[in-house]
Amino acid sequence: MKARALVRLWSIFGEPLWIVVSMGFPVLSSLAFFLLYYSMGAVSYVGFAVLGGVMVSFWGNVLWSMASQFNWDKQEGLFEIYLTSPASISAILIGMSVGGIIGTLPSAAIVTAFGWTLISVLQLPVPVVGSWLAVALTFALTLASLYAMGMTLSSLYLVYGREAESMNNVLQEPVSLLSGMYFPSVGTFSPFPSAVQIVASLIPLTIGMNALRLALFSTPGADTLALVFPSLAILAAMAVVFMAVSAYSLKALEYKGRKDGTISVRIR
């Protein structure tokens, strides 16, 4: 796990172009929504724009550097090494998750600092009055469930081969919309009908984003931990379920690959 995490960190910080891309794009998307809300007079939403910019970098990391990694390794001929080594496939995936989270933290920090500076310079009334304990718990459980979902997708992508890249392109923007990266997608202020909100709630990022908003921008004097507790329970359950499904599916694929070699065939 440690070895795979170090490789992921080196791949992120060892290439200057990747550093610029991973840190620059979330800032641009966050700035776009920030200026949109500011020009519309929806000043209370600019905090959502900053929060969305922080989380979009993690969502992109889950899709492009987590779910797709085993498929890319298979194309490069590395997955055979994973199968023949004594290392656990799940441990390799957890190492990728840890490396991805640590590698994405600087991008999240830059978006936060950039957004906070804009709010301070423009003197916008965006009070952060929530509980930092609730924020930390929500953030940790959101990442755990999100990367556990990435582990599950990695086994699915491994089966479908190069179609995985098309699946990433299909999932990227719709999930960003449904999960409410930059606006509430579930609850009273959601623009979506109830049926769409129910579907959106199946995505860990949706629950996490809603809980983070409650934790950061709750009403002064409110019991923030009590407000986010249902979301924390759902996120914890999602993390456990996705981890279990991932472990089972990877074990089945590993057995199939060792038995008849089909999982090691490079799909062109």
Query: What one-character-per-residue DSSP string does 128-174 give?
Result: --S-HHHHHHHHHHHHHHHHHHHHHHHHHHHHHTTHHHHHHHHHHHH
Confidence band for 234, pLDDT divided at 50, 70 and 90: very high
Model pLDDT, residue 232: 93
Q: Which residue is listed with tokens 């609850």?
A: 187
- Among the residue ranges 29-38, 49-58, 253-262, the one predicted with the least confidence is 253-262
State percent of the chain over pLDDT 70: 90
Containing H/E element for 74? helix 69-76
Structure tokens at 201: 């709630």
pLDDT at 230: 92
Average pLDDT over residues 151-179: 77
The sign of the CA dihedral 122, 219, 223, 226 is negative
Q: What is the pTM of this model?
A: 0.83
Region 55-65: mean pLDDT is: 81
Comparing 15-24, 103-112, 192-201, 231-240, which segment has the lowest mean pLDDT?
A: 15-24
Which range is least confidently modeled, 84-98, 128-142, 216-230? 216-230
Within 10 angstroms of residue 135's Cβ, the number of other Cβ atoms is 18
pLDDT band at 177 (very low <50, low <70, confident <90, very high): confident
Predicted confidence at residue 16, as pLDDT, reads: 76
16-40 vs 46-62: helix crossing angle, rounded to 10: 150
